[in-house]
Amino acid sequence: MIRIAVVQFTPVHGDKHANLQAISALMPQIDVDVIVLPELCTTGYFYTSSEELAPLAEGSEGDAVAFFSALAVSRRAIIIAGLAEVSGQSLYNSVYVFSPEGVKPLVYRKSHLFYKEFMVFSPGDTGFPVVRDERLDVSIGIMLCYDWRFPESARSLALDGADIIACPSNLVTDAWMKVMPARAIENKVFVAVANRAGSETKDGETLVFKGRSALYDPWGEAIVQTGPYDDHVLIAEIEPADARDKRFNECNDIFRDRRPDLYGRLCR
Ligand code: ACM
């Protein structure tokens, strides 16, 4: 069994210091093995140019990277956090996975850019990673918010052995609430959606973030879920191995029953 926390959190736009302090203040109530935080949790979301976000983005020596690296070691937890990343001339909307052993964080760069993100970020080039932790006997796949609209994201993570798909998010529609449980069912995996709450206004346009962070089990049921507005830490105990048996009756196994030979372009 492992304990996992899914953190719904409302970042202050443009104030990394305040956001790191707020995340720090949540920690005493979180004593778990895995912590999932939202997308862009130290910067806020709504930017329309790289120049505006670049000063807050993380290079390999970024202050949020240093903060979360130390936190993962001191809390003995895997911490999964959405952060803006700068690499050379490019900005990426990334997820960092920090390990309790203090090794260099793994970085996933968002594959599918949502709405005006193309004005700020380069499309990701990492593919969808699965992080294995032998001590906890868990494999965690990473995707990011709008990746949910592409079933290939979750499928590729599940085929690569993910027990849990962690999806840091800044979701602004409601459709995902129907689809995330489906991603859990069709892959028989846990899905952890750490969404944010609140709203941000840019050039007269307001984005409202929908909260309702949740942890779904491999049967698509919400083990824990919170409401749309408040910051909230969801905590649950789960058995990752429950995601490894892909049978759902004595005759069917959803991975063994796949027919990639018939899926045409999907498999080319
Ligand atoms: C999103 O990808 N932030 C909806």
Does residue 114 line the site of ligand 1, with CB under 6 A? Answer: yes
Query: Dihedral (C-alpha) 207, 36, 191, 193: value to the nearest 10 degrees?
Result: -10
- Number of folded domains that form the chain: 1
Domain at 113, CATH number: 3.60.110.10
User: Is residue 39 among the annotated active site residues?
Assistant: yes
| Distances 168 to 59, 147, 215, 243 between C-alpha atoms, Å | 20, 10, 12, 20
User: Is residue 251 among the annotated active site residues?
Assistant: no
Q: Residue 93 pairs with which residues in a beta bridge?
A: 84
- Which residue among 16, 110, 188, 210 is the active-site one? 110
Q: Which of the listed residues 147, 148, 171 should we mutate to test ligand 1's pocket, taking the one with most ligand atoms within 8 A of CB? A: 171
In this structure, is residue 256 part of a structural domain? no
> Computed from CA positions of residues 149, 155, 156, 161, in that sequence, does the dihedral angle turn out positive or negative?
positive
In this structure, is residue 267 part of a structural domain? no
Tens-digit pLDDT profile for residues 224-252: 999 998 899 999 999 999 999 999 999 99
In this structure, is residue 254 part of a structural domain? no
In this structure, is residue 266 part of a structural domain? no
User: Is residue 267 among the annotated active site residues?
Assistant: no
* Residue whose tokens read 């806020």: 44
Q: Which pTM was predicted?
A: 0.97
In this structure, is residue 10 part of a structural domain? yes
Tens-digit pLDDT profile for residues 114-149: 999 999 999 999 999 999 999 999 999 999 999 999
Q: Which of the listed residues 119, 142, 148, 172 should we mutate to test ligand 1's pocket, taking the one with most ligand atoms within 8 A of CB? A: 172
* Closest C-alpha to ligand 1, atom 2: 146
Does residue 40 line the site of ligand 1, with CB under 6 A? Answer: no
Nearest partner of 95 among 27, 190, 166, 22, judged by Cα: 166
In this structure, is residue 140 part of a structural domain? yes
Does residue 46 line the site of ligand 1, with CB under 6 A? Answer: no
**Mean pLDDT over all residues of the chain?**
96
Q: Which domain holds residue 57?
A: 2-244
65: CB partners within 8 A, 6+ apart: 58, 83, 96, 105
Nearest ligand 1 atom, CA 39 = 3
Tens-digit pLDDT profile for residues 41-89: 999 999 999 999 999 999 877 899 999 999 999 999 999 999 999 999 9
In this structure, is residue 255 part of a structural domain? no
In this structure, is residue 263 part of a structural domain? no
Does residue 145 line the site of ligand 1, with CB under 6 A? Answer: yes
